[in-house]
Amino acid sequence: MNQPDDAEIVHFDNVGLRYGTGKEVLTDVSFTLYSGRFYFLTGASGAGKTSLLKLLYLAQRPSRGLIRMFGTDAITLPRENLPGFRRRLGVVFQDFRLVQHLSAFDNVALPLRVAGVPEREIVRPVTDMLEWVGLGDRSHARPATLSGGEQQRVAIARAVIGRPDMLIADEPTGNVDPDMAVKLLRLFEALNRLGTTVVVATHDVHLIQKMPESLIMRLDKGRLSDPTGALRYPPRRVSTPPRPEVLGA
Amino acid sequence: MSVLPAMVEAFRGEWRERASAESRLLPQGKLSGPMPWVIAIMIGLTVVATASGLALRNTASVASADVAGGVTVQIVHGAPRERDRQAQAALASVRSAPGVVSARLVPQAELDALVEPWLGTSAGDDVNALPVPALIDVRLSGSANEAQLAALRTRLKAPAPAARIDAQASWLAPVFKAIGGLQWLASGLIALLAFATVATVLLASRNALTNHRTTIEIVHMLGGTDTQIARIFQRSMAVDAAAGGIGGLMLGLVAIVALGRQFAALGSGMMTSTGLGMIDWLVICCIPLAGVLLAVLTARLTVLGALRRML
């Protein structure tokens, strides 16, 4: 198992975000994420989870504050350098954002093709990944013919296929049955064990309980609280012992 | 020895693979809709306008070369005997004048043929009663200028006082002016068609960008570069423009051939003596290529400009 290290991967300092001239949806958000750790981002609907994730996956610039990612100032990052950073991220969008005219296979292969991976090196990992998420027999299906849960699994497969440095998932188990949710969580955990930093936004308490080793960030009306000490350095680990069934024993 | 071809083949394979993978990112058939047809029309019109401009230029050039050194001496006299005497005297004087390459008295038969459409030659037509001038067709070694004309006038004043001397080019000056105007018109049409092509491609690219915005955002989020996305649009536009360009060229060639036959049927010396040369046909065949390049460049700049406004 790959041990988490203390390398800073993301640092937010007094970050604020407002859309247009509206009021701030994120206020004075400051935290540091460390490489190889597993984070849950919780909060009620409208608390600002998706907005915070947008800042994390560089889809939005903050209105104020400082953001450092992978040791680089993300605010002043030249636009032409953004693709290189984004290729280090895997993102599971809340609305899946699958390309409708592409098959499940092509959707999952998309990050590899964008990264210029030769076609002969794409087939095997994509097929394996689709098998893993239980969609081996639906690889040629278009998103419109897939159920919500199946689409979500395709979105997750797409996010993890490139072995990203950081996986960001917005409500990744919202549309799948409990068994599949646990399976997907195990996939995230396996990736995390391989060194990928995982940030999962959810308000599913049961899901969080299944990962007792995780660190929790809670958003409340755009402000961040720190129930597990995840935002302090060194992060305080949750003391609750993990349940045996959660560990997959 | 076989390393270079192998490398080239590997590169081509890699490029084809990448192009194929990238082209799948956006649905190709729906990128530009009726674009090939629009481009075909634009290219067809451009081909016709260019061919017309080139043919007019050739016409003006040939006609100008024909008449540039030509001078006409008219002996206008009511008495046929005196007219003929002065004509012979003028011919002898002109032939020995400096700068004259040749001079010939236009035979009566040719004169009759010239006036026949207006005056007729059949019995009853009183053509012989009309004082038709005697004509001397003079060829100078260079273009006829005012100084040479003045020298000829002075020289003929004594032997042929009824002589009138004109440069042939001066008669055709209004025709050359009109041809020049038509050439400018053809150039203006070509420029307008190029502008219309750019505008059409620009609108089509923007429209395609709007239609595929979601996909483009996803590709961006997955680390796709602006250049990758622009390449997809460029490729699609190149295919559309090539198809439209070939169609437009065929359309234009049919129109040129049809127009050529119409002008040939006129039987006018000026129209039948000119046409399109090898270089002209080469220029015309390059128009679709220029259209493709223009469309691809426009699509690229439009897409890159629009993408730059996205994060």
Tell whether the model's pLDDT for residue B145 goes beyond 90: no
Tell whether the model's pLDDT for residue B23 goes beyond 80: no
Tell whether the model's pLDDT for residue B31 goes beyond 60: no
Q: Are residues B157 and B201 in the same domain?
A: no
Inter-chain Cβ pairs, chain A and chain B, closer than 8 A: 62
| B292 falls within a domain | yes
Residue of B nearest to A84 (CA): B223
Q: Are residues B89 and B148 in the same domain?
A: yes
Q: How far is A99 from chain B (nearest CA, A)?
A: 6
Would you state the pLDDT for residue B191? 94
Q: Is A152 exposed, middle or buried (0-12, 13-18, 19+ CB in 10 A)?
A: buried
Mean pLDDT of A212-241: 68
E runs forming strands in chain B: 70-75, 100-105, 134-140, 163-167
Q: Are residues B289 and B266 in the same domain?
A: yes
Mean pLDDT of A213-221: 87
Q: Is the dihedral of CA B199, B204, B210, B212 positive or negative?
A: negative
Tell whether the model's pLDDT for residue B1 goes beyond 90: no
Mean pLDDT of B218-231: 89
| B190 falls within a domain | yes
| B299 falls within a domain | yes
Residue of A nearest to B212 (CA): A99
Other Cβ atoms within 10 Å of B206 Cβ, number: 14
- Given the DSSP bridges, would you call strands A197-201 and A38-42 parallel, antiparallel or unpaired? parallel
Strand order in the sheet with A89-92: A89-92, A166-170, A197-201, A38-42, A215-220, A223-225
CB contact under 8 Å between B17 and A91, yes or no, is no
Cβ–Cβ < 8 Å for A116, A52: no
Which tokens go with A113?
Answer: 């093709």
Residues 199 to 228 of B: which have CB under 8 A from any A CB? 214-215, 217-226, 228
Q: Is B173 on the interface with A (CB under 8 A)?
A: no
Q: How confident is the model at residue A178 (pLDDT cuts 50, 70, 90)?
A: confident
Q: Is B22 on the interface with A (CB under 8 A)?
A: yes
Domain boundary among B161, B182, B215: B161
Which of the residues B14, B221, B232, B307 would you substitute to probe the A interface, choosing the one with the greatest number of A C-beta atoms within 10 Å? B221
Looking at the DSSP assignment, which residues form a beta bridge with residue B100?
A: B140
Q: Are residues B59 and B152 in the same domain?
A: no
Q: Are residues B183 and B304 in the same domain?
A: yes
Mean pLDDT of B229-238: 87
pLDDT for B52-73, tens place per residue?
A: 899 888 888 887 777 778 888 9
Mean pLDDT of B112-140: 74
Q: Show residues of chain A in contact with B231, CB under 8 Å.
A: none
| B1 falls within a domain | no
Q: Are residues B184 and B301 in the same domain?
A: yes
Assembly ipTM: 0.81
Residue among B224, B308, B311 minimizing CB distance to A59: B311
Mean pLDDT of B199-216: 86
| B135 falls within a domain | yes
Q: Is B87 on the interface with A (CB under 8 A)?
A: no
Mean pLDDT of B239-264: 90
Q: How high is the mean pLDDT of chain B?
A: 83
What percent of chain A has a predicted confidence (pLDDT) above 70?
A: 88
Tell whether the model's pLDDT for residue A3 goes beyond 60: no
Q: Which residue has the higher pLDDT, A69 or A208?
A: A69
Alpha-carbon torsion, ordered A216, A220, A222, A225, to 10 deg: -40
Residues 26 to 65 of B: which have CB under 8 A from any A CB? 26-27
Tell whether the model's pLDDT for residue A56 goes beyond 50: yes
Q: Which of A150, A143, A172 is nearest to A159 (CA)?
A: A172
Would you state the pLDDT for residue A1? 45
Q: Are residues B91 and B146 in the same domain?
A: yes
Would you state the pLDDT for residue A135? 92
Q: Which residue has the higher pLDDT, B16 or B295?
A: B295
Total count of domains within chain B: 2
| B70 falls within a domain | no
Q: Show residues of chain A in contact with B17, CB under 8 Å.
A: 118-119
Domain boundary among B127, B161, B195: B161
Q: Show residues of chain A in contact with B311, CB under 8 Å.
A: 58-61, 79, 82
Residue by residue, DSSP assigns chain A as -PPP---EEEEEEEEEE-STTS--SEEEEEEEEETT-EEEEE--TTSSHHHHHHHHTTSS--SEEEEEETTEESSS--GGGHHHHHTTEEEE-TT----TTS-HHHHHHHHHHHTT--GGGTHHHHHHHHHHTT-GGGTT--GGGS-HHHHHHHHHHHHHTT--SEEEEESTTTTS-HHHHHHHHHHHHHHHHTT-EEEEE---HHHHHT-TT-EEEEEETTEEE-TTSTTSSSPPPP-SPPPTTTTT-
Q: Are residues B132 and B261 in the same domain?
A: no
Residue of B nearest to A80 (CA): B225
Mean pLDDT of A45-54: 90
Q: How confident is the model at residue B157 (pLDDT cuts 50, 70, 90)?
A: confident
Q: Is B308 on the interface with A (CB under 8 A)?
A: yes
Residue by residue, DSSP assigns B194-231 as HHHHHHHHHHHHHHHHHHTHHHHHHHHHTT--HHHHHH
Mean pLDDT of A73-87: 90
Would you state the pLDDT for residue A248? 31
Mean pLDDT of B141-156: 84
Tell whether the model's pLDDT for residue B195 goes beyond 80: yes
What percent of chain B has a predicted confidence (pLDDT) above 70?
A: 83
What percent of chain B has a predicted confidence (pLDDT) above 90?
A: 22
pLDDT for A130-164, tens place per residue?
A: 998 889 999 999 999 998 889 988 999 999 998 89
Tell whether the model's pLDDT for residue B177 goes beyond 90: no
Q: Are residues B125 and B183 in the same domain?
A: no
Residue B276 is part of which domain span?
A: 24-64+173-308
Residue of A nearest to B224 (CA): A114
CB contact under 8 Å between A83 and B14, yes or no, is no
Tell whether the model's pLDDT for residue B121 goes beyond 60: yes
| B103 falls within a domain | yes
Q: Are residues B295 and B211 in the same domain?
A: yes
Q: How far is B242 from chain A (nearest CA, A)?
A: 25
Cβ–Cβ < 8 Å for A156, A91: no
| B4 falls within a domain | no
Residue by residue, DSSP assigns A29-78 as EEEEEETT-EEEEE--TTSSHHHHHHHHTTSS--SEEEEEETTEESSS--
Domain boundary among B141, B161, B181: B161
Residue among B22, B217, B222 minimizing CB distance to A111: B222
CA distance readout (Å), B30 to B11, B198, B236: 29, 19, 10
Q: How confident is the model at residue B99 (pLDDT cuts 50, 70, 90)?
A: confident
Q: Are residues B223 and B281 in the same domain?
A: yes
Residue among B224, B308, B311 minimizing CB distance to A61: B311
Q: How confident is the model at residue B129 (pLDDT cuts 50, 70, 90)?
A: low
Mean pLDDT of B119-140: 73
Residue of A nearest to B220 (CA): A83
- The top-scoring range by mean pLDDT among A26-35, B208-217, B264-273 is A26-35
Q: Are residues B126 and B268 in the same domain?
A: no
Q: How confident is the model at residue A246 (pLDDT cuts 50, 70, 90)?
A: very low
CB contact under 8 Å between B219 and A102, yes or no, is no
Would you state the pLDDT for residue A249? 28
